[in-house]
Chains A and B, each alone.
Chain A
Amino acid sequence: KNEVEQSPQNLTAQEGEFITINCSYSVGISALHWLQQHPGGGIVSLFMLSSGKKKHGRLIATINIQEKHSSLHITASHPRDSAVYICAVRSNTDKLIFGTGTRLQVFP
């Protein structure tokens, strides 16, 4: 079993839909990251959080430390949101352990 599990693996949506991507982990962590990888490979850090909730524009990330679960929400999705979204947990030794990613396609 992977230490970081993401669901779904693939997600398609119509423009404007509300999207949720889930991440569960089984190790002790100091922080959790949500990353975005566009076709062409560049990776951008969207959020780093260790408790509660963060919001940036149409993106919201939440984490429940007790349940070892995090969600990434995208409101009013747009085709430019199409990318792979990766959950990564920062272990207590500072290494990042990555989920396998969720491939999101948003159609106009």
Chain B
Amino acid sequence: GAGVSQSPSNKVTEKGKDVELRCDPISGHTALYWYRQSLGQGLEFLIYFQGNSAPDKSGLPSDRFSAERTGGSVSTLTIQRTQQEDSAVYLCASSLVGPYEQYFGPGTRLTVT
């Protein structure tokens, strides 16, 4: 079946603009994760949606970052008033709830100029 998809694949934006990144998880996966990989850096956790529970937002770096998951499926990560340090690849992953393998999307490469 279809894997995790993300859109756009690349996004270039001017500093100060808002951006929305989209993730379509694998059908039936009730856990959804957002991660960020800055240039030359490792992966860092941003936010985790688990079914109908309140999301774990502990990895969001500032209040400019927010995410929502509508209908338990598609998720949108929003970055307001983008800064150059927000430039990174934003990765989404989904899984069944619990200690199951996570399946990663191809990522969105965000460049803030």
Interface residues on A, range: 20 to 34
A101–B42 CB distance below 8 A? yes
Q: Which residues of B contact A101 (CB under 8 A)?
A: 42
* B-to-A contact residues, CB < 8 Å: 31, 33, 35, 37, 42-45, 48, 50, 56, 58-59, 89, 91, 93, 98-104, 106-107, 109
A41–B101 CB distance below 8 A? no
* Contact flag A44-B99 (CB < 8 Å), given A98-B44, A101-B42: no
B43–A86 CB distance below 8 A? yes
Q: Which residues of B contact A43 (CB under 8 A)?
A: 91, 93, 104, 107
Q: Which residues of A contact B104 (CB under 8 A)?
A: 35, 42-45
B45–A95 CB distance below 8 A? yes
